Amino acid sequence: MTDELTQAREELRTVARALLAKSGPRPDWQLLAGPGWPGLEIAPELGGSGATFAEIAVIATELGRAVAVSPFLGTVVLGAGLLAGISPAAGRDALLRDIAAGRSRVAVAMATGDDAVAGDAAPFRVQRVNGRLTVHGTARFVPDAMAADHILLLGREDSGRPVAVQLGAAELRAEPQPVVDETRQLAVVEAGGARVSSAAVWQFAGDPEAAVRALAGRAALAVACDSLGVAEAMLEATVSYAGKRCQFGRPIGSFQAVKHACADMLVQVSMARELVSGAAGAVAGDAAEAPAAVSMAKSYACAAAVSVVGKAIQLHGGIGYTWEAGLHAYLKRAALNRSLFGSPAAHRQLLAQRYA
Amino acid sequence: MADLDQFRAQVREWCAAHVPAGWRQAQTGASPEQFTEFQQAWFAELRSGGYAVPHWPAEWGGGLSTAEQIVLYQELAAHDAPRLVLAFISIHHAAATLLAAGTPDQRSRHLPAILDGEIWCQGFSEPEAGSDLASLRTTARRAGDRYIVNGQKLWSTWAMAADWCLLLARTDPDAPKRRGISYFLLDMRVPGIELRPIRQATGEWHFCEMFLDDAEIPASSLVGAENEGWQVAQATLSAERGMTMLELAERLGNAGLARLIETGRQAAGGRLTAGGLIADRLAAFDTEITGLRAMCRTVVERHDTGRAGPADASVVKLFYSELLQRMTDFGTELAGLPAHTELEKPLSGSYESGAWLLDFIGSWEWTIPGGSSEIQRNIIGERGLGLPREPAVTP
């Protein structure tokens, strides 16, 4: 059973890598919908394939390896992840069906920095004034909101209870938030007192606070996967370059200074892979240790990726610093990943609560 | 899985009943005789429980599955059991050599004896053959049905307590470096062996220099074919399949991390604040140890299914040894001046004693022997990543 699962995941990885190599860095969403990536975790009766987060992790890693521009984080990791935890509500299943079919792209407006893990991930307020519900609030750095067909807001009711709110595009203000990394598409989403019907305020099925934490954890882990992919790609590129580039009459990879730096990159990548795969298994199995495993994977893999890409640029020498060589895109993505959904320090702060 | 849970419960029960209370105190400042006696007693205890040589084939007294061995080492670490330090070479390298390349006579002579407490040491390194082991110079000259051995060995751990020695010596002085080396079982009681303990940086005496002056080895104690000792050594060095690293990683992740957190708590005035500098460093070590333990399990499982990577062992050894050094360094810093007042650490453990400075100094015992960190990085670069070798220097 375990071997079959492992084998199935390796096949998914192989297919994904080939597809992304062919599509280039800006794959069409329909192309990714073809093999069923948007609906990986969605139930079969809604058109998905009923897989687990372990399969999501495979795709997230490959997207990072390809530094691909894709709404996977917004639509699949956050959107489908959020909807899966919502009590049955009008429109919920239709939306999941549309996501699975690749017809709809979704964004979740929530906190995406340190506040996502160490504070409050639900920044909107759903207020009842004179019997009418209104929504206020702002979420910055919202992934994939500009191209989304639906934006779901993560907010709190007057009672403090977290809820999800579905608002029409006309009732929200979304502005692109340019960042140095051009491979991620972020936006500022603002709701300035828009009226909302109670049917559009969706309740979580279980403990809502735990659901919000779990959603932020999924996102953090998906970003850790992305960073693992970024680091893998840079290690391979560097090893290949160091084996070919000659100076002083020999390949630079034969010099210990270069070889040892590559060895250190492999060690970091291997360690990141262990932590990420352990956390993906824990999240997929809804294990009690999942939150700690996610924080370990996120803090280690995202820091390691920045270090690995940095070494890659250094070992490529002058060419590595050029725009044309493209290594800069990996550094920028790795650096953004490190901050998205909780910095290494924020995640270590969560871990350290166990020592108090 | 249920069977494994049952096995874990069984090991836990055994540990609760058999791990000697207060062994760390008793082994602090212990004499060599007290150390040897305690090690032999703990070995006999483990043997009676069926846990001394879990990795051996069932016909020789082992037979635990890989998954059970992992559970065993996890539980021994969780119960802060003593470690088999003295029998280490015997149950791992000597047994692996005998099982992989020994004759039926050699196996039946030594494997049961090891279970009865026969102690082995290793005679590989020499003054001029450390990282470059293949340049070893000790010779074994064939004379009828015997070999006459002359030379000098270095860094033989616990050689003064050993009954037997795994010896590499040159049998063909004209062959290229790696050819011409043979692998022997040397009886440490024969005439012509002189041992001189080497005091190490910690002040302890675990290692010996070994002078071989016309020491005789019967031809029946040759392992594998003459001049093929290098291949035998290579095969048996990896024969422990990562299980000993798993054991050490588990010890570091249990008693080691718990002591570091406790030391950190004391340094923080009794209470650790999440977000504080000390708590941040502790969480980083916690993370790295978790990754190391997972990697050790992965490597063991890969060995088991024949998928071991060519640099797996090097990645684990490099990461473990440098993590150990950073952790014990941090422990020393946290403990402050009191760390300098711990003049002795308990024997029979590894690097989780809480005597941070002595464990820190001792950590070079991991970054240098068994292929230094620099050699490990060469192996990772060349075998793991396929980078070009350094051009040989032509005289």
Tokens of residue A91, six digits: 């429109």
Q: Which amino acid belongs to residue A247?
A: Q
Taking contacts as CB-CB distances below 8 angstroms, the residues of chain B near A271 are 288, 291-292, 295, 319
Please give the residue that has the higher pLDDT: either A130 or A343: A343
Residue B169, pLDDT above cutoff 70: yes
Residue A289, pLDDT above cutoff 90: yes
Chain B interface test: which of A255, A266, A276, A347 (most B C-beta within 10 Å): A266
Taking contacts as CB-CB distances below 8 angstroms, the residues of chain A near B311 are 266
CB contact under 8 A, B291 and A275: yes
Residue B135 CB neighbour total at 10 angstroms: 13
DSSP label at B227?
A: T
Residue B395, pLDDT above cutoff 70: no
Give mean pLDDT, residues A212-221: 97
Residue B239: the pLDDT is 65
A208-355 CATH, one of 3.40.50.970, 1.20.140.10, 3.40.470.10, 3.40.50.300: 1.20.140.10
Size of interface A-B (CB pairs under 8 A): 124
Taking contacts as CB-CB distances below 8 angstroms, the residues of chain A near B288 are 271, 300
Considering chain B, what is the average pLDDT of its residues?
93
Chain A interface, Cβ < 8 Å to B: 239, 242-243, 250-251, 253-256, 258-260, 262-264, 266-267, 270-272, 274-275, 277-278, 293, 296, 299-300, 345, 347-353, 355-356
CB contact under 8 A, B319 and A267: yes
Q: Helices (H) and strands (E) in chain B — how many of each?
A: 15, 8
Taking contacts as CB-CB distances below 8 angstroms, the residues of chain A near B279 are 348-349, 352, 355
CB contact under 8 A, A266 and B274: no
Categorise residue A193: left if φ over 0, alpha if ψ from -120 to 50, beta otherwise.
left
CATH architecture for residues A2-104: Orthogonal Bundle (1.10)
Tokens of residue A71, six digits: 């709404």
What does residue A21 show for φ and ψ, rounded to 5 degrees?
Answer: -65, -35
Can you list the alpha helix ranges (DSSP code H) found in chain B? 2-18, 23-26, 32-49, 66-78, 88-89, 95-101, 104-115, 229-237, 243-251, 257-267, 277-304, 312-335, 356-362, 364-367, 373-379
CB contact under 8 A, A262 and B265: no
Give the orientation angle of helix A208-244 with respect to helix A53-65, to 10 degrees.
40
Residue A2, pLDDT above cutoff 80: no
Domain B241-384: which topology? Butyryl-CoA Dehydrogenase, subunit A; domain 3 (1.20.140)
pLDDT band at B1 (very low <50, low <70, confident <90, very high): low
From the list B271, B380, B387, the residue facing A242 with the nearest CB is: B387
Residue B126: the pLDDT is 93
CB contact under 8 A, A274 and B294: yes
Considering chain A, what is the average pLDDT of its residues?
95
Residue B240: the pLDDT is 63
Model ipTM? 0.93
Taking contacts as CB-CB distances below 8 angstroms, the residues of chain A near B276 are 352
> Quick one: closest CA in B to A250, which residue?
B391
Instruction: Give the tens place of pLDDT for each residue, B21-74.
Output: 999 999 998 998 999 999 999 999 999 999 999 999 999 999 999 999 999 999
Instruction: Give the tens place of pLDDT for each residue, B232-285.
Output: 998 777 666 688 899 999 999 999 999 999 999 999 999 999 889 999 999 999
CB contact under 8 A, B390 and A271: no
From the list B282, B295, B385, the residue facing A271 with the nearest CB is: B295
* Dihedral angle of Cα A210, A211, A213, A218, to the nearest 10 degrees: 140
CB contact under 8 A, A271 and B382: no
Q: How far is CA B83 from CA A336, B18, B171, B236, B348, in A?
A: 45, 13, 36, 22, 6
pLDDT band at B180 (very low <50, low <70, confident <90, very high): very high
Instruction: Give the tens place of pLDDT for each residue, B99-138.
Output: 999 999 999 999 999 999 999 999 999 998 887 888 999 9
Distance of CA B111 to the CA centre of its chain: 19
Residue A157 CB neighbour total at 10 angstroms: 17
**How far, in Å, CA of A112 to CA of A154, rounded?**
11
Q: Residues 289-308, chain B: which have Cβ within 8 Å of A?
A: 290-292, 294-295, 298
CB contact under 8 A, B295 and A253: no
> Quick one: closest CA in B to A350, which residue?
B274
**Check: CATH 3.40.640.10 for A107-203?**
no
Residue A1, pLDDT above cutoff 60: no
Domain B117-236: which topology? Butyryl-CoA Dehydrogenase, subunit A; domain 2 (2.40.110)
Which residues of B belong to the active site?
A: 240
Instruction: Give the tens place of pLDDT for each residue, A297-354.
Output: 999 999 999 999 999 999 999 999 999 999 999 999 999 999 999 999 999 999 999 9
Residue appearing with tokens 């795994």: B166
Residue A166, pLDDT above cutoff 80: yes
DSSP conformation letters of A178-201: --S-TTS-EEEEEEEEEEE-GGGE
Taking contacts as CB-CB distances below 8 angstroms, the residues of chain B near A347 are 283
Domain ranges in chain B?
A: 2-85, 117-236, 241-384
> Quick one: closest CA in A to B389, which residue?
A254
Q: Which amino acid belongs to residue B73?
A: Y
CATH 1.20.140.10 residue ranges in chain A?
A: 208-355
Give mean pLDDT, residues B197-215: 91
